A = this chain, B = another copy of it.
Amino acid sequence: MDRHDLLGIGEVARRSGVSVPTVRFYEEKGLITSTRDAAGRRRFERHVLRRIAVVRAGQRFGMGLAEIGEALAGLPVDHPPTKRDWERLSRSWHAALTARIEAMERVRDGLSSCIGCGCLSLKACPVYNHDDELAAEGPGPRRWPAAARDG
């Protein structure tokens, strides 16, 4: 924990590729943490760069910040995560991502087989199929509609 390798918010922003307000926002949301120096400025440990990288990676495949936060909660906050810590997160995300990729493949294939063929029989069509709880999750944009999540 040598003082000299803590990072200022500007450097974190620059090196992680997000804006300065976004770094503050992520801290507010509990995705990252910081200490303060004598003047009240945030000081970040190096591993927040990795945490932010993980946040961005999670967003890339459609996770919300809350969900990402749960995954990050499995990592230690006080000391730099070990390789084993990261591997655990990586493994669990790998599984979730694979499931989502497969769901997308099903939608894609359903699209060609069903829309392409022109059948669209209400019962059998995977595109038409909507019998699950649609619009049953409250307002706001649907990042991953329920249908993409089921088996």
Q: List 23 A-B contacts (CB under 8 A).
A: A18-B134, A18-B135, A49-B128, A50-B128, A53-B120, A53-B125, A56-B134, A57-B107, A59-B142, A60-B103, A60-B145, A61-B107, A83-B116, A87-B115, A89-B115, A93-B108, A97-B111, A98-B108, A100-B104, A101-B104, A101-B108, A141-B143, A143-B143
Residue picked from A17, A97, A115, A134, most chain B C-beta under 10 Å = A115
Q: How far is the CA of A111 from the CA of B125 in the complex (A)?
A: 34
Contact partner of A130 among B56, B135, B142, B143, CB < 8 A? B56
Kindly supply a per-residue 1/0 record for chain A positions 114-151, scoring 1 wherever the CB is within 8 Å of any chain B CB and 0 otherwise. Answer: 01111010100101101100110000011101011000
Are A127 and B83 within 8 A (Cβ)?
Answer: no
Contact partner of A141 among B83, B100, B127, B141, CB < 8 A? B141
Per DSSP, chain A at the interface is: helix
